Chain A
Amino acid sequence: MKKYNLLFALSIFLISTQCSSDLEEIDTETTITELTASTDNDNSNSTSQTAVVSSFDHEQMLTNWADNIIIPSIINFENSLVKLKNSASIFVNEPSNETLSVLKEEWLNSFLKWQHLEMFDVGLAEEIYYKNRINLYPANVNRIENNISNQNYDLNASSNFSSQGFNGLDYLLFGIGQNEEEIILKYTSEDSKYGKYFLEIIDKMIELTTQVKDSWDDEFRDEFIKSTDNTSTSSINQVINDFIFYFEKGYRANKIAIPAGRYSDGPLPDRIEAYHGKKYSKILILEATDAIDNFYNGRFSNDITSSGLSINDYLSYMESDQDDKLAEKINEQLKKIKTKLTELNTDFSEQIRQDNLEMLITYDIIQANVVFLKVNLLQKLNINIDYADADGD
């Protein structure tokens, strides 16, 4: 009896394994689902929409991120810094209204390029606290003044992160005098400590940027695009986690929520980005919104009419069997954010003082997308925020 049982069991087992291998064969032959990526750029030179694959091509998405978005953004930013350095040298040698206005233009140009890079806090950038050293605000005005007068400081010390970068330059360009004449005067004094500090900040920014650029060598890039797994350390999960973290922190909290007083008893208008230049906070966040939009939709940094595989495509693939499309909702919400932002005062500190309610409404519109990204997107892609993991059931 028992022998019979065992025999039966064994045969069932064999049949079942046979079945499963049959299934696999059927699968590879018959089920090829067509994937049409990048819906709005069908005539672009991207390689994505021609492919007919049975699954989403994660490596191609990573390749698009690295080759068409991240690396070009670093190069663009580095180039803009070199230009900034040139105009800064000219200004320091020959302080005048003309050289100053060129310098301000280059500063803004470079600051805008940075908005495309801040979200990619991966690899070396993360290790060296790149984003904190380029764009931490508010700038520590007292510390900057002390550094300049003492001439004894180390820009690599974390205590000096808030006395360098774009917001340090912002103070040196707009905040050290009551008017332009007073500011120019600061740079014309004989020892010109201000000019020296100004140039040193830019040198440091160039040094760090070059380091980050060099870290994206062929080896790192190849490793990056091959790391397609769905694990907490894979490229896909890290970049998406960083992207969402940026949207929540660098974008929503720093640019809107903190100055509008979401986390404090009252509003803090002096916490805006580029506080001393006043009129730049809106232009910067609009650029950051475009950067978010472009990356989310896989558009190339140097040609936004072209695109490759993106988070949006990945999401569309994952929710292809569902009716209520999250991918559309995220893009709609990005449009709403842009529309709302254009209604605000160019100077957010002014907006906050006059009508902070509008800032809080803006916050709510951005917040809706935080929830879409952090709750719905991560659920649909089944990506975990890197928690101290525990067994789940």
Chain B
Amino acid sequence: MYKIIHNYYSKKKGHPSTLAFFRITFGGLMFFSTLRFWSKDWIESLYIKPVFHFKYYGFEWVNDFGVYIYLLFIICLISSMFVALGYKYRASIITFFLVFTYIELIDKTTYLNHYYLTSCIAFIMCFLPAGKYFSLDSYITGESLDKIPVWTIDSLKLFICLVYFFAGIAKINSDWLVEAQPLSLWLKSKYDLPIIGQNLLQLKETHYLASWFAMLYDVLIPFFLLFKRTKYIAFIFVIIFHALTKVFFPSIGMFPYIMISSAVIFFDASLHIKLLNFIRLIIKKLQLFLGLKINEIRLNKFIITKNNRVVFLSLSCFLLFQLIFPFRYILYPGELFWNEQGYRFSWRVMLVEKRGYTTFKIQDSITKKFFYVRNKDFLTPFQEKQMSFQPDFILEYAHYLGEHFKSQGHENIQIFADSFVALNGRINQRFIDPDFNLLNTQESFYNKNWILPLNDKIKGL
């Protein structure tokens, strides 16, 4: 066993063009998605406008910096461009990873799987020799690598496979496969799409077909992408699948583009070399046009050092963590889609349609006088929407309200939530125990027993 691993670790080699091409597309996409985020004015509406931010457990210390948050976005822009160009690669990718992740930690209202995906890929790339070939760095130093260990490429491949696979098995549940929910709700309401909106999308058969196709696609695509013989067909399916998601769910944002471009990594190095050669050609023409000199680039051998062993072990640990972490929901009783304990960071993408209505009663425990809070006074509409059906948001907001009304001079405060939630087209149901004083508990990894159970059973993984 050790021998196999050691052999794989030290002997198996790949071509550096694969990582170089991945670096360019990833850096480029991040550059454009940051620009897009900015141009939609979301920095203002999501980070500056809210008076209060919902924090991840353990990251309450993260500060939003007020208007200076724009600086973080500028750093994101510059570092992602440097990553794409391969300029001071290591420093750039580490900077990008830290800053991007920091921004995400400011407010969990904006949590999206593809932001988490971005952070994870950036994290892996911090360890990879992706800047040592076809980069400004090698242009400047005049040195480049001729071969890299194949595990550096495989770590990314494996990670992407895990993402797909978990997204797939999360769909193996009775709502998704037996009821075709929530796709049925979503597709039916796309009646305004040309050609198929008024007929095809109105059919229950279509909803079933789409649900099953999506599940099978997610579960199987990693294997088809890995096999030499099926790679090309698989890639065509990747394009079709993600193009369809973009058509049906325009609000899905950058996710399809990230997944499509990431899947290119599964091809042989010969394709990446061709693609890079194409870029080379353009650069050459530019050089001739501008009359610049071309530096000679020496190809060096990749030398395995002690450092590499640390990197190899770190990446292995990270991937192992990724393999286990999505299963943490097993430790909690109750329905995962309902109480969402262990829901995030598990590649559960577009899996539930959930809406809620949650208001808070502030009561004086002695006089029993009470009043209800207008959520609009404290939350943006987007925050209110997210808060209404996620227990950890409800708890955090209750504590915020507690502090607020305490500072206003109220005494003996108790806070109760009047909360109703509807899941995947079911009639709404009371969500939080209305007699439980939310100030009596703190956020933790323990089970939240003040969430009332769902009066229904969703079978599956």
Binds B, one of A194-202, A280-288, A314-322: A314-322
Interface string of A251-275 (1 = CB under 8 A from B): 0000000000111111000000000
Chain A residue with Cβ nearest B46: A390
Contact residues, A348-381 vs B (CB, 8 A): 370-372, 374-376, 378-381
A6 touches B371 (CB 8 A): no
- Which residues of B sit under 8 angstroms from A28, Cβ to Cβ? 199
Chain-A contact segment, one of B8-16, B130-138, B292-300, B422-430: B422-430
Interface flag for A99 (CB, 8 Å): no
In the docked arrangement, what's the CA distance between A322 and B125, Å? Answer: 47
Q: With A230-B192, A382-B185 as known contacts, state yes or no: A391 contacts B251, CB within 8 Å.
A: yes
Known: A55-B191, A391-B112. A265 touches B184 (CB 8 A): no
Q: Is the CB–CB distance between B355 and A24 below 8 Å? A: no
Q: CB of B381 within 8 A of chain A?
A: yes
Q: Chain A at the B interface: mostly helix, strand, loop or mixed?
A: loop
A27 at the interface (CB under 8 A from B): yes
CB-CB under 8 A from B197, the residues of chain A are 55
Alpha-carbon distance between A58 and B202 when the two chains are bound, in angstroms: 14
Q: State which of B186, B254, B357, B422 has its C-beta within 8 Å of the C-beta of A391.
A: B254
CB neighbours (8 Å) of A380 from chain B are 185, 425
Known: A8-B233, A391-B252, A392-B251. A385 touches B202 (CB 8 A): no
Residues from chain A with Cβ under 8 Å of B102 in the complex: none
| Chain B, residue nearest A33 (CB) | B202
* Interface 1/0 per residue, B346-388 and A, CB below 8 Å: 0001100101110000000000010110100000111001000
Closest to B114 in A: A393
Q: Select from chain A the residue with minimum beta-carbon distance to B382.
A: A387
Query: Could you say which of B186, B198, B355, B381 contacts A54, with CB atoms under 8 Å apart?
Result: B198
- The distance in angstroms between the C-alpha atoms of A55 and B192, with both chains bound, is 11
**Complex contact B371–A388 (CB within 8 A):** no
Tell me, yes or no, whether A303 is within 8 Å of chain B by CB: no
Once bound together, how far apart are the Cα atoms of A23 and B205, in whole Å? 11
Q: B59 within 8 Å of A by Cβ?
A: no
A266 neighbours in B (Cβ, 8 Å): 369
A31 & B185 in contact (Cβ 8 Å cutoff): no
Q: Which residues of B contact A371 (CB under 8 A)?
A: 357, 420, 428
**Which residues of chain B from 176 to 220 have a CB within 8 Å of any chain A CB?**
184-186, 188-192, 195-200, 202-204
Q: Which of A263, A326, A370, A378 contacts B427 (CB 8 A)?
A: A326
Bound: A324/B231 CA distance, A: 45
Asked whether, in the complex, the Cβ of A375 is within 8 Å of the Cβ of B198, the reply is no
Query: B232-265: contact bitstring with A at CB < 8 Å (1 yes, 0 no)?
Result: 1101100010000000010111110000000000
In the complex, which residues 46-89 of chain B have their Cβ closer than 8 Å to any Cβ of chain A? Answer: 46
Binds B, one of A9-17, A108-116, A127-135: A9-17
Known contacts A54-B202, A376-B428, A391 near B253 by CB under 8 Å? yes
Residue B189 contacts which of A6, A329, A382, A390 (CB distance < 8 angstroms)?
A: A382
Q: A9 contacts which chain B residues (CB < 8 A)?
A: 232-233, 235-236
Contact between chains at A319 and B425 (CB < 8 Å): yes
Which among B110, B254, B372 is the interface contact of A263 at CB below 8 angstroms?
Answer: B372
- The complex places the Cα of A375 from the Cα of B389 at a distance, in Å, of 10
Residue of B45, B197, B353, B425 with most chain A CB atoms under a 10 A cut-off: B425
- Shortest distance between the CB of A287 and any CB in chain B (Å): 26
Q: How far is the CB of A139 from chain B (nearest CB, A)?
A: 23
Q: State which size class the interface on B falls in.
A: 35 or more
A359–B198 Cα gap in the complex (Å)?
Answer: 45
- Residue pair B236, A372 in contact (C-beta under 8 Å): no
- Assess whether B371 is in contact with A265, with CB atoms less than 8 Å apart: yes
The distance in angstroms between the C-alpha atoms of A393 and B182, with both chains bound, is 12
A322 to B353, CA, bound (A): 15
Q: Check B382–A318 contact: CB distance below 8 A.
A: no
**A55 in contact with B202 given A262-B371, A322-B425, A392-B251 (CB within 8 Å):** yes
Assess the B350–A393 pair: CB atoms within 8 A: yes
A393: chain B residues at CB < 8 Å are: 112-114, 252-253, 255, 349-350
Distance from B192 Cβ to chain A, minimum over Cβ atoms (Å): 4
The distance from the CB of B16 to the nearest CB of chain A, in whole angstroms, is 22
B325 within 8 A of A: no
Residues of chain B with a CB closer than 8 A to A389's CB: 251, 382
- How many Å from the CB of A349 to the closest CB on chain B? 20
Give Cα A372 to B240, complex, Å: 37
The answer to whether the Cβ of B421 comes within 8 Å of any Cβ in the partner chain is yes
Nearest to A8 among chain B residues (CB) is B233
Q: How far is the CB of B195 from chain A (nearest CB, A)?
A: 7
Interface members, chain A 30-57 (any B CB < 8 Å): 31, 33, 54-56
A142 located at the interface, meaning its Cβ lies under 8 Å from any Cβ of chain B in the complex: no
Of chain A, the residue at the smallest CB distance from B424 is A379
Decide: A392 near B252, CB < 8 A? Known: A55-B202, A385-B381. Answer: yes
* A379 and B229 within 8 A (CB): no
Residue of B nearest to A12 (CB): B233
Residue B32 at the A interface, CB < 8 A? no
Q: Once the chains bind, are A24 and B199 in contact (CB under 8 Å)?
A: yes
CB of A21 to closest CB in B, whole Å: 10
Whether A230 lies near B232 (C-beta < 8 A) is no
List chain A residues, Cβ under 8 A from B204: 321
Give the complex CA separation of A329 and B429 in angstroms. 13
Is A159 an interface residue, CB under 8 A from the partner?
no
Q: Given the complex of chains A and B, what is the CA–CA distance between A318 and B190 in angstroms?
A: 12
Separation of A88 and B189 alpha carbons in the complex (Å):
50
Residues of A within 8 A of B196 (CB): 24
Task: Say yes or no: A379 contacts B425, CB within 8 Å.
Answer: yes
CB closest chain-B residue, reference A378: B355
Minimum C-beta distance from B291 to chain A (A): 39
Docked pose: A135 CA to B236 CA in angstroms:
60
On chain A, the residues within 8 Å of B229 by CB distance are 5
Find out whether the CB atom of A374 lies under 8 angstroms from the CB atom of B357.
yes
Q: Chain B residues with Cβ under 8 A from A16's Cβ? A: 240
Does chain B have a CB within 8 A of A63?
Answer: no
Report the bound CA distance from A375 to B112 in whole Å. 22
| Interface residue? B223 (CB, 8 A) | no
State A265–B410 Cα separation when bound (angstroms): 11
**Are A230 and B255 in contact (CB-based, < 8 A)?**
no
A229 at the interface (CB under 8 A from B): yes
Please indicate the chain A residues that have their CB under 8 angstroms from the CB of B186 in the complex.
Answer: 382
What are 20 residue pairs bridging A and B, where the CB atoms are less than 8 Å apart in the complex? Answer: A5-B232, A8-B232, A24-B195, A24-B196, A24-B199, A54-B199, A58-B191, A228-B192, A230-B189, A230-B191, A230-B192, A265-B369, A318-B189, A324-B427, A371-B428, A382-B185, A388-B42, A390-B382, A393-B114, A393-B255
Question: What are the 8 tightest A-B residue pairs by CB atom distance, in nearest-first order?
Answer: A391-B253, A382-B189, A229-B192, A388-B45, A55-B198, A9-B232, A387-B381, A371-B420
Additional A-B contact list (6), CB under 8 Å, known A56-B191, A230-B191, A378-B355: A28-B199, A54-B199, A55-B198, A264-B371, A318-B189, A391-B112
Residues of B within 8 A of A (CB): 42, 45-46, 110, 112-114, 184-186, 188-192, 195-200, 202-204, 229, 231-233, 235-236, 240, 249, 251-255, 349-350, 353, 355-357, 369, 371-372, 374, 380-382, 385, 420-422, 425-428
